[in-house]
Amino acid sequence: MLFSSITFLYYFLPIVFMLYFLVPRKLKNLVLFISSLVFYAWGEPKYVFLMILSVAIGYIAGLLMDKLPKKPVLIISVVACLFFLIYFKYTNFFITNINAVLKTDFPMLKVIMPIGISFYTFQIISYIIDVYRKDVEKQKNFFHLAAYISMFPQLIAGPIVRYSDINDQLEHRKHSTQDISYGIQRFVLGLSKKVLVANQLYELCQIFRMSGEKTILFYWIYAIATMLNIYFDFSGYSDMAIGLGKMLGFSFHENFNYPFISKSVTEFWRRWHMSLGTWFRDYIYIPLGGNRAGAKRQIINILIVWFLTGFWHGAEWNFIIWGLIFAVLLIIEKLWLFKKLDKSKFISRIYMFFIISVTFVIFNASDTAEMVSYISNMFLVGKTKAFIGKECIYYLKSFAPILAISIIGATGIPKVIYLKAKENAVINKVSIIAEPVILVLLFLLSTSYLVDGSFNPFLYFRF
């Protein structure tokens, strides 16, 4: 079930909130768990049992930490969780590459990757490791842990929520009209980012893919549209997840912090998908030694982390290449480029914008052949020789407003203007009435687009 769907907005969500706020406090987690199962089962009923089994592994592992040797429990439970992830997400990737290298003909498995398995697997693993490290107490109530893992706001596309961040909230969270109001505001803004901006950019990307007149300029327009589409799609989903969590009494950490104002690739990744970045930092990079064992070891650790980061995103070589490119860029910046970038904010931001637009073409490629084709044509070494064409001009004019809006919106300028304006007493008073009206209008406009539109995928569902 999509957040940006009529079913979710007008049926599922009102019913869930009505039940959630009607039942006594001690039953709220049970309502949350059951509603999350319904939410997940709406699209993939059979994989609900896989998720429950994964939760059970984490729950049992936590209980056994005090009764059995901790390390074997840790290893067995983490391996079991990773087994499901690897089997469903990566088995056919391995079979394909074995067949290609060894000239064998092993058949592909008829498996479909369960939506959200990458996200909830990481949450379960973080819980197991945190219990092992004694950073958190084991959860004795299965339904509390299950409610945390399966919580529908962040179940299928994050952010990756740590148990340590919300363990107290599972039993002692508070609900207030202020939090609910903020949650609604955040949800509607996220919905608007997704429906009114990301979906339109996605349409432009699809037009380019189907175009019979791909010129060099059109390739670069596609690159910018792809980068912005992924940002507004995923950050919009994260906004909705944070808003829904707030309405339910939970405070999730931010997942994006205006990454396009960054002055380096390193800074970009401190602002983009922050829950994933901190997960790899705390559970892979630091345990490997981080930067404590010298420069050579640090370089190896960065390569390992970014290989895994790329592979986490998808079972294709373009994701691995994408991750390793960022590893090399981060290493170059740490060893040499940082000092150069500090000398000019303008040049550093152009450099960052250029790198990100190119790398997200690699990220969004359907396979390595498409990746090579798109990148080569962008840099004048492909088959495409024409710089511009009539079709490119037509769609550039048609989508110029949404491209301009998305570029400005991605920089955070609207937020700065809004906060500055509210410092004026008169504007602040007017905003008390204007803000709810604008939110209602945005919600209705988004709904009308959902009724009429056909482009409504969530890109991160495939991860």
Residue 230: CA count within 13 A, CB half-sphere: 22
To the query of whether residue 253 is one of the catalytic residues in this protein, the response is no
DSSP 43: T
How big, in percent rounded to 5, are the helix, strand and coil portions of the chain?
Answer: 75, 0, 25
E runs forming strands in 103-255: none
Other beta carbons less than 10 A from residue 193's beta carbon: 26
Residue 113: DSSP 8-state: P
Tokens of 312: 């986490």
Q: How many CA atoms does the CB half-sphere of 358 hold within 13 Å?
A: 17
Report the distance separating Cα 375 and Cα 379, nearest Å.
Answer: 6
The residue whose two tokens read 């391996």 is: 79
In the set 172, 175, 273, 313, the catalytic residue is 313
Beta-carbon neighbour count of residue 254 at 10 Å?
A: 13
Ramachandran sector of residue 349 (left: φ over 0; alpha: ψ -120 to 50; beta: rest): alpha
Residues 403 and 408: their CA atoms lie apart, in Å, by 9
Contacts of 373 by beta carbon, 8 Å cutoff, 6+ apart: 382
* Phi and psi, residue 23, nearest 5°: -80, 160
The residues assigned a catalytic role are 313
